[in-house]
Amino acid sequence: MSEDRRLMVLRAIVQDYVQTSEPVGSKALVERHHLGVSAATVRNDMALLEEEGLIHAPHTSAGRVPTDAGYRVFVDRLSAVKPLSQGERRAIAQFLEGAVDLDDVVDRTVRLLASLTRQVAVVQYPSLTRSTVRHIELVPIGTSHLMIVLIVNTGRVEQRVVDTGHDLTVAEGEALVSRMRTAINEVAAGVPFTAAATRLRRIVGEADQADRRAFESVVSALADALVEEREERVVLAGQANLARSGADFPRSIGPILEALEEHVVLLRLLGQLGDDPDLVSVRIGSENPVTGLQSTSLVSMGYGSGSERVASLGVLGPTRMDYPTAMASVRAVARYVSEILDDDRST
């Protein structure tokens, strides 16, 4: 029973410190929370929590604040991620449903997360290693030009225009476009990017001599599009929220801002999630391998099409974070983005 009570005391300390940013004393805990014990008992529990390294005194006072280990116990002991209200869920759905393409989805998502949590929001574009070609469409425009439309399983669409060197307005040209469309989709549709580029190059050599120039033009343009898609990117919003938490960074927020500018660092952190699409990951303080981010916490989750995670999103802020709200917001937004990608795939 005493262990359960100590966890209640720890939870109360975390909640009060997150709300007030002031060290929490036993008297305040008794007044604010229904712990059912005296202030002396709470002081004893706090002493034990301090011995266990879960709270500490930032200076000589009766108040205590959680340590990274204390936050970790608090997060791990959350019985479940609290659900957002119906109104919050409706607002998220309406905000994201208006997106017109993947770029718009990412832009809306990162702004939404920053607004919901008042933290720095980070959204990763779908990774090349997890992206596949959904379909390639060829649309004649003008006499000899062809628009190539590359549609990715993550909802991204790339377009290129090439000159085929053939008159596409006559029956022979229409038949050529049909042959290319069929051949290209047979080898590339449903195939990961890395394999699609290799397969597409192979069909050029297999094409009839008369068709080879047109095939070369189309395949070359597709190869360029696939290479551009390989760039791993993240988008951030809400960096100004760090300034509102200046007291949580006693030295400076400079190292944090510098780390955030290194997108490779953020990609590595987001990429260290497991493959469970329902898992909300919380990395607290010193658990972050990046020195500049060890005074922060990262709450993140994967999103994707179907059951496969193709990228991640999350929020980063001080360790004095409202973890239940951050975790609920990240989970809800990730699920809505996944639903959007699923809808795009089914249409």
DSSP state letters, 23-54:
-B-HHHHHHHS--SS-HHHHHHHHHHHHHTTS
What local confidence, expressed as pLDDT, does residue 310 receive?
Answer: 76
C-alpha 330 chain-centroid distance: 8
Query: Quick one: tokens of 283?
Result: 């990395």
What local confidence, expressed as pLDDT, does residue 233 receive?
Answer: 82
How many beta carbons lie within 10 A of that of residue 169, not counting itself? 12
For tokens 């919380």, the residue is 282
Which ranges constitute the DSSP H helices of the chain? 2-20, 26-32, 39-51, 68-76, 86-97, 102-117, 171-188, 193-206, 212-229, 254-261, 263-270, 323-346
Residue boundaries of the structural domains of the chain: 2-67, 86-127+232-346, 130-229
Picking from 67, 116, 123, 77, the residue whose alpha carbon sits closest to that of residue 284 is 67
Residue type, 115: S
CATH number of 2-67: 1.10.10.10
pTM over 0.95: no
Residue type, 75: V
What local confidence, expressed as pLDDT, does residue 342 receive?
Answer: 72
How many beta carbons lie within 10 A of that of residue 144, not counting itself? 17
Q: What is the pLDDT of residues 259-303, one digit of tens each?
A: 888 888 888 888 776 556 678 899 999 998 888 888 999 999 988
Q: Which phi and psi (to 5°) does residue 159 adopt?
A: -125, 145
CATH number of 130-229: 3.30.390.10
Picking from 315, 345, 346, 333, the residue whose alpha carbon sits closest to that of residue 105 is 333
What local confidence, expressed as pLDDT, does residue 238 receive?
Answer: 92
pLDDT tens by residue, the chain, 347 residues: 478 888 999 999 999 999 998 999 988 888 888 888 888 898 999 999 999 999 998 876 668 999 999 999 999 888 667 778 888 888 888 888 878 777 888 899 999 999 999 999 999 887 666 678 888 999 999 899 999 998 887 767 788 999 988 999 999 999 999 999 999 999 988 888 778 888 888 888 888 888 888 999 998 888 877 765 555 788 999 998 988 877 788 777 888 888 888 888 888 888 776 556 678 899 999 998 888 888 999 999 988 766 667 788 999 999 999 999 999 999 999 988 888 877 655 54
Does 86-127+232-346 carry CATH code 3.40.50.2300? no
What local confidence, expressed as pLDDT, does residue 153 receive?
Answer: 76
What local confidence, expressed as pLDDT, does residue 1 receive?
Answer: 47
Picking from 270, 304, 300, 298, the residue whose alpha carbon sits closest to that of residue 286 is 298
Picking from 313, 310, 301, 315, the residue whose alpha carbon sits closest to that of residue 341 is 310
CB burial of residue 184 (10 Å; 0-12, 13-18, 19+) = buried
Q: Which phi and psi (to 5°) does residue 337 adopt?
A: -65, -40
For tokens 């000159």, the residue is 163
What local confidence, expressed as pLDDT, does residue 323 receive?
Answer: 94
Q: What is the pLDDT of residues 9-55, one digit of tens each?
A: 999 999 999 999 899 998 888 888 888 888 889 899 999 999 999 99
CA distances from 174 to 130, 146, 169, 170, 223 (A): 34, 11, 7, 6, 23
Q: Which phi and psi (to 5°) does residue 152 adopt?
A: -100, 155
Q: Which phi and psi (to 5°) does residue 116 adopt?
A: -65, -40
For tokens 């108040």, the residue is 63
